[in-house]
Structure formats: C-alpha cells, structure tokens
Structure 1
C-alpha cells in the first residue's frame, strides 16, 4: 500500500487543534486496513517529520434511515500521531 493510500486526510476538529496540537499530536483519517507501523512510515514520508508513536481508533458507521430505506454510514479509522519534540507539521 502506498503512503498516499494510507493517510486519507488530516482531521481538523476543535479537539484536534485546540487540545492536541500543543501536545504535538495530530489527527488523521486513515485506511481501514492500515496498521500503526504503516501509518508511522506514511506520516514520516509525506510530512517529513519524525513520529514518536501512533494511537489508532476504529469507528463503526452509524445506522441511518431515509423514509423506508435503511442504510449505514461507512466504518472509518482515526490515527492520533505524536511527533518527537521539536517536530511539527504545516497544513497548507
């Protein structure tokens, strides 16, 4: 799997920017089958920043209903990437 296939997009949430970035942590939506070591390599390759460690959270898609049709939003995975001291990521 390529690095650009693993990291889908950075998550810009209130919690992610206000609480985690001062602690040198960044949030990313990642591919469902990506592992923590793969995510670490992908972030280091794409953003040129040294990664300390990676925490991964799996989310089940919510059930949704529209009139008589029932469906489900897709499952997704979030990674909390902690960078080494002195490193940072600039999002354009």
Structure 2
C-alpha cells in the first residue's frame, strides 16, 4: 500500500489539538482500516519527513444515527474507522497539520 493511501486525513478535534500542543508531540490521523503500525510509521516518515517514535492504533466503532422517513424512524450507524496516534521525536513538527 502506498503512503498516501495509508493516511487518509488528520483528525482535528479539541482533544487531538491539546495532545499536539503539548511538549510531547502526538498527531492523530484517520488511516486505512487494513493498515498496521509499521505501515503508518513508514507513511508518516515518507510523507512528512519526520521520525515517529511510537504509533498507537485504535479501531473506532461507528455511532448510532437515526433519520425520519415516511415509515417512521430509521435506525442506522456511521461507518467504523481506524485511528492512529503518532508520537514524534522531540523537536519534530508536521507543518501540514500545524498550519505554519
């Protein structure tokens, strides 16, 4: 799998922004569900030219959603996805996520 296929997009939430701003840089990405830690580490190294120290992977379950239709309420869920939390070496910064 190519590096641009492994990492789909950065996750920019309040919790992930706080983790990124601390002294230990932790970046959160939405990744391909088939990707493992080694592929994510190599993709971050190749795409952003930084050195990942640690990679944690979390499978996120979809949330329940309801919609109203002609026959009443229709139950469904959002899709399951995989999240990677990448810890970088001290002094490394990913410019694309930081917006600098």
State the TM-score, normalizing by the size of structure 1: 0.90
- In the alignment, structure 1 segments of 5+ residues that lack a partner are none
Q: CA deviation at 1:18?
A: 2.0
Structure-2 residue corresponding to 1:18: 18
Equivalence map 1:24-35=2 (5 Å) = 24-35=25-36
Q: Is 2:87 the partner of 1:82?
A: yes
Structure-2 residue corresponding to 1:37: 38
Q: What is the count of residue pairs matched by the alignment?
A: 92
* Cα separation, 1, equivalents of 2:45 and 2:21: 17
- Post-superposition CA distance 1:19-39 (Å, at most 9, x none): 343221111111111101000
Report the 3-state secondary structure (helix = DSSP H, G, I; strand = E; otherwise coil) of the residue aligned with 2:93. Answer: coil
Q: CA deviation at 1:56?
A: 0.8
State the TM-score, normalizing by the size of structure 2: 0.83
* Cα separation, 1, equivalents of 2:15 and 2:75: 31
Bigger Rg, structure 1 or 2? 2
- In the alignment, structure 2 segments of 5+ residues that lack a partner are none
